[in-house]
Amino acid sequence: MNYLAHLYLSFNDPHIEVGNFIADHVKGNNFEFLKDKFIRGIKYHRLIDSFTDQHPVYKKSCSRIRYNQRHYSPVAMDLFYDHFLALHWEKFSDEPLKYYCQKFYTTLLAHKNELPLNSQKIIPHLIKENWFYHYKTVDGIQKSLKGISNRSSYNNNLEFAIDDLFQHFEHLEQDFFCFFEDLTNYCKKEITQL
């Protein structure tokens, strides 16, 4: 899952939200420089990723676009699933997506100096361009795909993955709803055991 899903699945716990956000910027168990309050979020993020990668519906979604995206199909799928979450946000939250995102950006800024440098560097871009909110638009997803493609050191077709989204939209959307219900139920149990 990508940023928005991880944020939503933090169930409004600000420390888990922040830990979830920085998790991809922390390698292995290198937690020495982090406060305990964020470590729970990092571990939780990894549980979510593991559950996602093993789920048959998620695997089926990835297989739908594997021909064009190959090794990068999970990367594209994570963004596509965030797109569906943002697109159907009102089914998951009473709080409008715009305000939900702004609230998280405020939380992130409050803890900015406690975060890894690579996390700190993206925060201004994240907020200025309102990444999470723009996941609901095709342009927002396209911009994210292009950014990941440009940052990758390997050849990929991510810049053109939006075509895969259009080609398989209905099936991927159905996959998302099926998968996300399972993931949410899993997370509601796991978060209480952190």
Tokens in use for 114?
A: 């406690």
Q: CA-to-CA distance for 13 and 188, rounded, in angstroms? A: 12
Which alpha helices (DSSP H) does the chain contain, by range?
3-8, 14-22, 36-54, 56-69, 73-87, 97-111, 117-128, 131-134, 138-151, 161-167, 169-190
Query: Is pLDDT of 29 > 90?
Result: no
User: Chain-centre distance of CA 127, in angstroms?
Assistant: 15
Query: Is pLDDT of 194 > 90?
Result: no
Q: CA-to-CA distance for 97 and 88, rounded, in angstroms? A: 10
Q: In 10 A of CB 23, how many CB atoms?
A: 20
Maximum Cα interatomic distance, the chain, rounded to a whole number of Å: 45
Contact assessment for residue 15 and residue 41, using Cβ atoms and an 8 Å cutoff = yes
Model pTM score: 0.96
Show Cβ contacts of residue 43 under 8 Å, excluding neighbours closer than 6 positions.
19, 194
> 92: exposed, middle or buried (C-beta count within 10 Å: 0-12, 13-18, 19+)?
middle
The reported pLDDT for the residue numbered 44 is: 97
The reported pLDDT for the residue numbered 19 is: 96
Instruction: Tell me what the pLDDT averaged over the chain comes to.
Output: 96
Query: Is pLDDT of 92 > 90?
Result: yes
Query: Is pLDDT of 21 > 90?
Result: yes
Q: What is the DSSP string of 5-37?
A: HHHHTTTT-HHHHHHHHHGGGS-TT--TTS-HH
User: For residue 33, what pLDDT band results from cuts at 50, 70 and 90?
Assistant: confident
pLDDT tens digits along 127-138: 999 999 999 999
pLDDT tens digits along 152-193: 999 999 999 999 999 999 999 999 999 999 999 999 999 999
Contact assessment for residue 52 and residue 75, using Cβ atoms and an 8 Å cutoff = no
Nearest Cα neighbor of 61 from 167, 188, 143 is: 167
Tokens in use for 99?
A: 């305000």
